[in-house]
A and B are shown apart, each in its own frame.
Chain A
Amino acid sequence: MTDEKEWPLYEVFVRGKRGLNHVHVGSLHAADDEMAVRHARDVYTRRNEGVSIWVVKADDITASSPDEKDPLFAPAGDKVYRHPTFYTIPDNVPHM
């Protein structure tokens, strides 16, 4: 971060009432972890979206690089047999 006075960036994950997983909803700046949760509450759950919030410092996330895209992901592209799409899933099995 170029400006040392800037608060650290946090990534925000919210679990919605209808959702099963925490889903990334955006990012924000906060002075510390606890304030980040409160800011996330104010910025991302104002319309009753969430029942649970995770925040994590963006610096703590290790991400794959776009340069690695082909070596990482392309080999999986032609292996259709890895997808369970050849099976019939009964209607009463949720969240598949």
Chain B
Amino acid sequence: MSHSAPDPNEDHGSVYDGLLGTDTSQWAFGTDFEDPLAGVDTTVPADLDPAELAAYCLALGDDALVLSHRLSEWCSNAPDLEEDIALANIALDLLGQARLLLARAAAADPSVVPTLPDGSPVPVEDALAFFREAIDFRNVRLVEVANGDFAETIARLLLFATVRLAAFERLCAHRDPVLAAIAAKGVKELTYHRDYAGRWFLTLAQGTDESRRRLLDGLSATWPLYAELAAAYAAGAEVDVVLDQVFAVSGVDRPEVAPMAGRGHTEALSRMLAEMQVVARAHPEGLW
């Protein structure tokens, strides 16, 4: 037939068409794989103490790094393929925050970076992630304990994302423009994390008897570590408002469990780091 019917998809085709533009070498968008702060002026403003800024960024970065690793442990283990991908996405968001924050810490105060042999190709944020011992990590204990079941993971994610989002909203006005920019990027990510966790919190709480039992158990297991998280992020009344809202619609009482005593880390962290760091440490000259 000389006049064949026009292909209805010809003009717009698949949404995936043309995504790469003319550049097919780079599949990850908006990410500089060499230096996450490439092209950014990392001079610390004169009225800030570089060591204090670095310690603060390290703490924020370590929280993201450790929870990112915990969430990534759900890969291929989540209740459904869809949750598997959702949790991996959140883990990747947090890993991105960790890269930026650890790089910011290293740029502000190079003395925080562990010393590696001369000529080591390991970038500073990797040196911080893979070549520090558990005792040098500045994360809160809430992010390091084992995942538990899906409900416990959701309870932890809700608490973490709510507290961190409130803090990042404040940090958008931080006097260090680099930290402020990192916070502004993170706000959008954390808003989604909180939304995702909040919806699942409600769904599990109002689902079946079994899902509600698991959620309440998970929340009780996580709650002893909440006080430390809230203190680390200077969580204010706005956090309580959000959590109370989620608890109210879910028909869940705010747990009355005493905060876990002590500080520092649980033994869960060193076990997790052993797994997370083993490949990088086995190949210190490796290029990734």
Residues of chain A having any CB pair with chain B under 8 Å: 7, 14-16, 18-21, 23, 25, 28-32, 34-35, 38-39, 42-43, 46-50, 80, 83, 85-86, 95-96
- Cα of A86 to Cα of B11 in the assembled complex, Å: 19
Contact of B5 among A14, A46, A83 (CB under 8 A): A83
Contact of A18 among B12, B27, B80 (CB under 8 A): B12
Q: Total number of A-B contacts with CB less than 8 angstroms?
A: 72
In the assembled complex, which residues on chain B have CB atoms less than 8 Å from the CB atom of A35?
199, 203
Q: Are the CB atoms of A42 and B89 closer together than 8 Å?
A: yes
Residues of chain B having any CB pair with chain A under 8 Å: 1-3, 5-6, 9, 11-19, 27, 29, 80-82, 85-86, 89, 195-196, 199, 203
Which of B15, B86, B199, B203 has the most A CB atoms < 10 Å from its CB? B15
* Given A7-B80, A21-B12, A48-B29, 13 extra CB contacts under 8 A: A16-B16, A18-B15, A23-B14, A23-B15, A28-B82, A31-B203, A35-B199, A38-B196, A42-B86, A49-B15, A80-B1, A83-B5, A85-B6
Q: Are the CB atoms of B15 and A83 closer together than 8 Å?
A: no
CB distance from A18 to the nearest CB of B (A): 6
In the assembled complex, which residues on chain A have CB atoms less than 8 Å from the CB atom of B1?
80
Q: Name 27 interchain pairs, CB-CB below 8 A, sorted by A.
A: A15-B15, A16-B14, A16-B16, A16-B17, A18-B12, A20-B12, A23-B12, A23-B15, A25-B15, A28-B82, A29-B80, A29-B81, A30-B82, A38-B86, A38-B195, A38-B199, A39-B82, A42-B86, A43-B82, A47-B19, A48-B19, A48-B29, A80-B1, A83-B3, A83-B6, A95-B11, A96-B11
